Amino acid sequence: MLRRHARAACTALAAAGMVLAGPQTGSAGAAQPSPGTAPAVQSAARALGTAEARPELLAAMGRDLGLTRTQAERRLVNEAEAGATAARLRDRLAGSFAGAWVAGAESGSLTVATTRAADLAAIREAGATARLVRHDLSDLERAKEALDRAAGADAPVRYVDVRANVLVVEEVRAGAGARLAAATGVPRELVRVVRSDAAPRPLYDIRGGDAYYMGGGGRCSVGFAVTRGTTQGFATAGHCGRAGQSTSGYNQVAQGTFQASVFPGSDMAWVAANSSWTSTPYVKGAGGANVQVTGSVLQTVGSSVCRSGSTTGWHCGTIQQHNTSVTYPEGTISGVTRTTVCAEPGDSGGSYISGSQAQGVTSGGSGNCSSGGTTFFQPLNPILSNYGLTLKTGGTDPGPGPGEPEPGGTWKAGTVYAAGATVTYGGSTYRCLQGHQAQSGWEPPNVPALWQRV
């Protein structure tokens, strides 16, 4: 197995090989475009390239902010112009500047606050709404810095709310905010304490090919990010760890626990992550770039396949044989796939992917990535099926096909189907042509490459 031990790489080789353990209204003085027309590109918007916003960004803005595409485009232009206007006013107002903010569905209104009445006319002349407040931004930020130096987990979040002209402290334990202000000498009038039930935590991504470390020593690689209900986690090689063993991530931060593991016989396992980690539909590719995973269709012999591992990175080759049996010093495993891809200790558990289709997790092999070698992977679909896992995938849902019958039958998203399996859907029977995990958008009538009507 290609599992990297903490102190030294495993060097024992089996006979068969080694197991691889300003807004358009108010801020910049620009005219509001008529509904349904593209916004005029102004100076700041042009400089920031708002016209080149990707369709997926605009679509996400529409989904999450309740905007049409035209509104999303206008909002980006307005925010670029507002930022430029606010920056110029901050420079002009100097110590009296008390913050700026945009408002409205299209960010069409810019407000700039000041502590000096003499500034109001200049703010309005710049096309923004003027607000006179008591505390300038510099004073509030200095007070925040004092709180930051003394804050603990009982008051985990602190920020300047420029709209309210106050320093906000979120406390998870009653009285923590007041005690923090008193201990630092920050005037109580500057502070608003807000009770919160949520304590922030760091968030990390689970990505195929990244390193993880086993409690008790050793390093392996993430295979593929998965979910089981609301639990995030990843599939990996069974020889990397046993059920109950803890893991830490590529950054040595506590990550999760092995839930199940089989080795020898097979070489499969999965790790349930803690709430700081989130599954992503990616494998670490060449140069660290993300390679998207869209499914788990097992490719045919002779197909190209690439492997990602935490020791040797990204390497490619071809699939030689499926359903191979190999005997390691620890015992025999069956059902693995033989490839021409090289691997080395520490790559164990890492991702094998063909195009965007997940293939399996690195098990073992012989040779190295200097002279070449042969490596075996444990196919992913049996891992998903055995443990009730759902592969984390990305991509576009193709939606229902033309003339598709009403859904119904035995086909179910999340189920792993082997070649030859039959299902019913929409009153018809279909035979699986290629093993895969079913997902929304891959209903049998939609994907003739995967299902044949019989």
Strand order across the beta sheet in which 254-262 lies: 219-221, 211-214, 246-248, 254-262, 268-273, 231-236, 224-228, 390-391
With 0-12 CB in 10 A as exposed, 13-18 as middle and 19+ as buried, what is 8?
exposed
The answer on pLDDT for 95 being more than 90 is yes
Per the annotation, the verdict on 267 as an active-site residue is: yes
161 conformational bin, left if phi > 0, alpha if psi -120 to 50, beta if neither: beta
Q: Which two tokens stand for residue 451?
A: 């299902």
CA 167 to mean position of chain CA atoms: 32
The answer on pLDDT for 15 being more than 60 is no
Instruction: Name, in order, each residue with C-beta under 8 angstroms of 70's C-beta and a sequence gap of 6 or more.
Output: 35, 36, 37, 38, 39
DSSP track, 68-94: -HHHHHHHHHHHHHHHHHHHHHHHHHG
pLDDT at 100: 93
Task: Out of 55-59, 139-143, 173-177, 398-402, pick the least confident.
Answer: 398-402
With 0-12 CB in 10 A as exposed, 13-18 as middle and 19+ as buried, what is 228?
middle
- Distance, in Å, from the CA atom of 321 to the CA atom of 337, rounded to the nearest integer, reads 6
- Distance, in Å, from the CA atom of 407 to the CA atom of 402, rounded to the nearest integer, reads 13
In this prediction, residues 235-243 reach a mean pLDDT of 97
Which range of 85-89, 389-393, 400-404 scores highest in mean pLDDT? It is: 389-393
Find the angle CA(234)-CA(16)-CA(379) to the nearest 5 degrees.
30
What's phi and psi for 158, nearest 5 deg?
-140, 135
Which of these, 396, 424, 433, lies nearest to 298 by C-alpha position? 433
In this prediction, residues 66-90 reach a mean pLDDT of 90
pLDDT tens, 38-60? 444 456 787 777 888 888 778 88
pLDDT tens, 153-169? 888 889 899 999 999 99
Per the annotation, the verdict on 205 as an active-site residue is: no
Instruction: Calculate the CA dihedral of residues 30, 31, 32, 35 and round it to 10 degrees.
Output: -130
pLDDT at 97: 96
Asked if 24 and 80 count as a contact pair (C-beta separation under 8 A), the reply is no
Q: Which two tokens stand for residue 136?
A: 């300038």
pLDDT tens, 96-141? 999 999 999 999 999 999 999 999 999 999 999 999 999 999 999 9
Asked if 361 and 409 count as a contact pair (C-beta separation under 8 A), the reply is no
pLDDT tens, 362-393? 999 888 999 888 899 999 999 999 999 999 99
pLDDT at 286: 87
pLDDT at 247: 98
Confidence tier at 16 by pLDDT (50, 70, 90): very low
Q: pTM value?
A: 0.70
pLDDT at 120: 97
- Distance, in Å, from the CA atom of 128 to the CA atom of 201, rounded to the nearest integer, reads 37
HEC readout, 133-191:
CCCCHHHHHHHHHHHHHHCCCCCCEEEEECCCCEEEEEECCCCHHHHHHHHHCCCHHHE
pLDDT at 7: 35
Confidence tier at 23 by pLDDT (50, 70, 90): very low
| Residue whose entry in the numeric block shows the structure tokens 């991530």 | 249
- Identity of the amino acid at 284: K
In this prediction, residues 81-90 reach a mean pLDDT of 89
Q: Which two tokens stand for residue 17?
A: 């090989």
Asked if 230 and 213 count as a contact pair (C-beta separation under 8 A), the reply is no
- Identity of the amino acid at 215: G
Q: Annotated catalytic residue: which of 267, 279, 296, 363?
A: 267
| Residue whose entry in the numeric block shows the structure tokens 């390679």 | 291
Which of these, 336, 338, 350, lies nearest to 264 by C-alpha position? 336
The answer on pLDDT for 34 being more than 80 is no
Mean pLDDT (the chain) is: 86
pLDDT tens, 249-290? 999 999 999 999 999 999 999 999 999 999 999 999 988 989
- Distance, in Å, from the CA atom of 4 to the CA atom of 435, rounded to the nearest integer, reads 31
| Residue whose entry in the numeric block shows the structure tokens 């063993």 | 245
The share of the chain scoring above pLDDT 70, in percent, equals: 87
pLDDT at 400: 42
| Residue whose entry in the numeric block shows the structure tokens 């189920």 | 415
| Residue whose entry in the numeric block shows the structure tokens 């309005």 | 124
The answer on pLDDT for 35 being more than 80 is no
In this prediction, residues 321-325 reach a mean pLDDT of 86
The answer on pLDDT for 398 being more than 50 is no
Asked if 299 and 337 count as a contact pair (C-beta separation under 8 A), the reply is no
In this prediction, residues 203-220 reach a mean pLDDT of 94
- Distance, in Å, from the CA atom of 217 to the CA atom of 5, rounded to the nearest integer, reads 6
pLDDT at 406: 52
Q: Annotated catalytic residue: which of 239, 279, 351, 354?
A: 239
SS3 366: strand
What's phi and psi for 140, nearest 5 deg?
-65, -40
Per the annotation, the verdict on 348 as an active-site residue is: yes
Count the residues in the chain. Answer: 454
pLDDT tens, 410-451? 999 999 999 889 999 999 999 998 899 999 889 999 888 899
Q: Annotated catalytic residue: which of 261, 279, 296, 348?
A: 348
The share of the chain scoring above pLDDT 90, in percent, equals: 60
Please give the residue that has the higher pLDDT: either 26 or 320.
Answer: 320
Instruction: Name, in order, each residue with C-beta under 8 angstroms of 405's C-beta and a sequence gap of 6 or more.
Output: 425, 426, 427, 428, 445
The answer on pLDDT for 300 being more than 80 is yes
- Distance, in Å, from the CA atom of 377 to the CA atom of 313, rounded to the nearest integer, reads 16
